Amino acid sequence: MVNHTINAPYALARYRNGEEVVLGVVRGDRIRPVTPEDLGVQGLNALLALGTPGWERVAALAQRDDGWLPLESVTLTAPVTPRQVLQTGANYRAHVIELVAAGLTQDQTRTPEEARAFAAELMDRRKANGEPYFFIGLPACVVGDDVPLALPGYSDVHDWELELAVVIGRETFRVSRDEAMEHVAGYTIVNDVTTRDLVFRKDMKEIGTDWYRAKNAPGFLPTGPFLVPASFIDPSDVRLHLELNGETMQDASSNDLLFDIPALVSGASQTMPLLPGDLLLTGSPAGNGQHWKRFLRDGDVMTGSIEGLGTQVVRCVAESAR
């Protein structure tokens, strides 16, 4: 059993009770089930739609003395039930510079130093004048770390991408960057698993990327374990750390984001309304398997932590062994 802990004064989580999944409020090392009667609304997404008054109800429930269970006695699952999942690509400056520079040095027309300088200038121009790059994922891929990650047998290059994920509160449509944070309910952890050899189409390169096949196998969005209120997290500078079998692979800060949370929420909301409980992934820093030339295998254990949001532990199994 994973020993989940949280440092925020309180948070939300969902846990298994037989065949049922129960919403609970977490305080320290304890969890207390909450009912629609406790919340005054039907379900998590309806609660998040209330904005600040919804979190005030949660805070009041966190102060009650009755009904608490040891957190270690329950099996946590994904803390959210999104209707939409938006993912952000190429959003960590150092990571993208690394990728661009690697491509530029292949023909040997630039030295590594020249390539990095060119890539850095390119990213700075993009941050100043460009727009975030979004694509969509399937909500059905959202699971808790209680579900083993089954590695599909059609590829040997399944990769990890630890990400800070925004959880939307009130419905968000065409908001400005100044208004964006009013629509953020909280944050959670997502590992955006990717099958690298399916990212680009081989049958017709002009089509470009194929995010559907590369990122949407069952369980490819391990999420949680907690939904932490936005008021307890400064998303501009939190540490992301991922270990594979105890060895550090990713270690970075969200202060390296090219487009910050207000820019992402505003940008994503321009096309389609974001709904309460939706997930908006913010991108992944350097250090994925493609960098290390080491991809996920049967028996691997990924331990992903984000400062203030706890830790998720994802165990990998071969698809046939699930």
Cα–Cα dist 133/280, whole Å: 12
Domain assignment present for residue 292? The answer is: yes
Q: What is the pTM of this model?
A: 0.94
Q: At residue 3, does pLDDT exceed 70?
A: no
Q: Which of 68, 101, 131 is the last residue of a domain?
A: 131
**Domain at 179, CATH number:** 3.90.850.10
Q: State whether 267 and 288 are in the same domain.
A: yes
Q: State whether 106 and 57 are in the same domain.
A: no
Domain assignment present for residue 6? The answer is: no
Q: State whether 316 and 178 are in the same domain.
A: yes
Domain assignment present for residue 82? The answer is: no
DSSP 234-289: -TTS-EEEEEETTEEEEEEEGGGBSS-HHHHHHHHHTTS-B-TT-EEE----S--H
The percent of residues in the chain predicted with pLDDT above 90, rounded, is: 80
Compute the mean pLDDT over every residue in the chain, rounded to the nearest whole number: 93
pLDDT for position 217: 98
Residue 177 tokens read as 């960057």
Which domain does 228 fall in, by range? 133-321
The per-residue pLDDT for range 48-90, each reduced to its tens digit, is 999 999 999 999 999 999 999 999 999 999 999 999 999 998 8
Mean pLDDT of 157-162: 97
The per-residue pLDDT for range 191-237, each reduced to its tens digit, is 999 999 999 888 888 888 899 999 999 999 999 999 999 999 999 99
Q: State the distance between the two ends of the chain, measured CA to CA, in whole angstroms.
A: 18
Q: State whether 177 and 219 are in the same domain.
A: yes
Domain assignment present for residue 302? The answer is: yes
Q: State whether 201 and 260 are in the same domain.
A: yes
Q: State whether 26 and 104 are in the same domain.
A: no
Which strand (E) or helix (H) includes residue 162? strand 162-168
Q: At residue 321, does pLDDT exceed 60?
A: no
Q: At residue 250, does pLDDT exceed 60?
A: yes
**Which residues 6+ apart lie within 8 Å of 319 measured at CB?**
150, 151, 152, 153
Q: State whether 308 and 230 are in the same domain.
A: yes
pLDDT for position 2: 54
Domains contained in the chain, number: 3
Domain assignment present for residue 117? The answer is: yes
Q: State whether 169 and 26 are in the same domain.
A: no
pLDDT for position 27: 96
Q: State whether 163 and 205 are in the same domain.
A: yes
Domain assignment present for residue 241? The answer is: yes
pLDDT for position 105: 62
Q: Which of 103, 131, 159 is the last residue of a domain?
A: 131
pLDDT for position 202: 86
The per-residue pLDDT for range 83-136, each reduced to its tens digit, is 999 999 889 988 777 777 666 666 667 888 888 888 888 888 888 888 999 999
What residue spans of the chain are helical by DSSP H? 36-39, 44-48, 52-62, 93-104, 112-129, 177-180, 211-215, 261-269, 289-292
Q: State whether 309 and 187 are in the same domain.
A: yes
pLDDT for position 185: 98
Q: State whether 276 and 138 are in the same domain.
A: yes
Q: State whether 137 and 203 are in the same domain.
A: yes
The per-residue pLDDT for range 36-52, each reduced to its tens digit, is 999 999 999 999 999 99
Mean pLDDT of 278-295: 94
Phi-psi region of 209 (alpha: psi -120 to 50; beta: other; left: phi over 0): beta
Domain assignment present for residue 86? The answer is: no
Domain assignment present for residue 2? The answer is: no
pLDDT for position 4: 66
